[in-house]
Structure 1
């Protein structure tokens, strides 16, 4: 047993939504005291680093209500129940960008906010993309614009905080470390 384990005494569901499940757990701490933990359960998500034949990275710009501003990000989306991450990646790439691929390689996975959420984000990469003649429709409440940027342009957007989320910053750092651009 992990010496830092917190044992759940009671768990109370606060909200059960389309994307997240919020609960409050009463826990026993390793020192015997008790505490409350606010926890968001999330099904997980997938992002795709899609690189064009011209060595441009495909991004989407979309409005993020919690931030009250638009961000430029990797195409990404939530895992559907029982869906394999690779299929989520292809589905989101198609819906958000109109590109598809038959070749995704896993780069990494990480927990987005382990202090309060269990969301596991997978990042895949592909440089074998092609435009779809009739791409599938995206979510009806999602409005995105597609951008194709060089790595240097993406780094500039990071400096300007137009790219300002963890998954996309990670992808840019990863591509920079590869030195392939």
Structure 2
């Protein structure tokens, strides 16, 4: 049975439209036993995003970022600092590779010419519409054009971290890196032997 045959009477209601849009979606859903039920879910739409693991095979290093994340702070009441791969939000209809190349320059100060898409994923599909387009790219010191740190007009304050790959992996085990896209890309690097 097609999903269109299992859904009917879909109604979206905007609950908030500040930074992104929070919807309540009411709909009828047909279960496998043939019964229809009226359901209601909240869905947070902030657009799609990109992320990239920058790695250097000669130095056996990766570039990560550290920045304050209010939702992480609210959840844990700790410092709210998150260690992550370079990432950014896509503008409407923007090509993900174009976006991530721009974000690399703005956030970490390196100019790369291309990136290889390796994964697409939802990190919280039960509540957030965002699909992440994840990339990898090699870097070297000659590509560094500035100190990075993000854009002041976007109120970004990003610390750039160049870490040994082995240390980044240990940081996952120590629960110092708990960002899903970062863990996925570091594990991708292990599985595909991008670094030793």
Residues 50-70 of structure 1 deviation map (CA, whole Å, 9 limit, x = unaligned): 113523110001111111121
* Aligned position for 1:165: 179
Using the size of structure 2 for normalisation, the TM-score is 0.84
Task: Provide the residue aligned with 2:43 in structure 1.
Answer: 39
SS in 1 for 2:175: coil
Q: Quick check: 1:40–1:118 contact (8 Å CA) kept in 2? A: yes
Stretches of structure 2 lacking an aligned partner (at least 5 in a row): 74-79
Match of 2:112 in 1: 101
Query: What is the number of residues matched between the two proteins?
Result: 180
Moved more, 5-14 or 148-157: 5-14
- Whether the 8 Å contact between 1:94 and 1:136 is mirrored in structure 2 is no
Aligned partners of 1:117, 1:139: CA distance in 2, in Å? 27
Is 1:10 the counterpart of 2:20 in the alignment?
no
Shift of 1:160: 2.0
Which consecutive residues of structure 1, in runs of 5 or more, have no partner in the other structure?
Answer: none
Q: TM-score, normalised by structure 1?
A: 0.90
* Larger relative helix fraction: 2
Whether 1:60 and 2:65 are equivalent positions in the alignment is yes
Aligned to 1:87, the other structure's residue is in SS state helix
Measure how far apart 1:135 and its partner are: 6.0
* Distance in 1 between residues matched to 2:9 and 2:152, nearest whole Å: 37
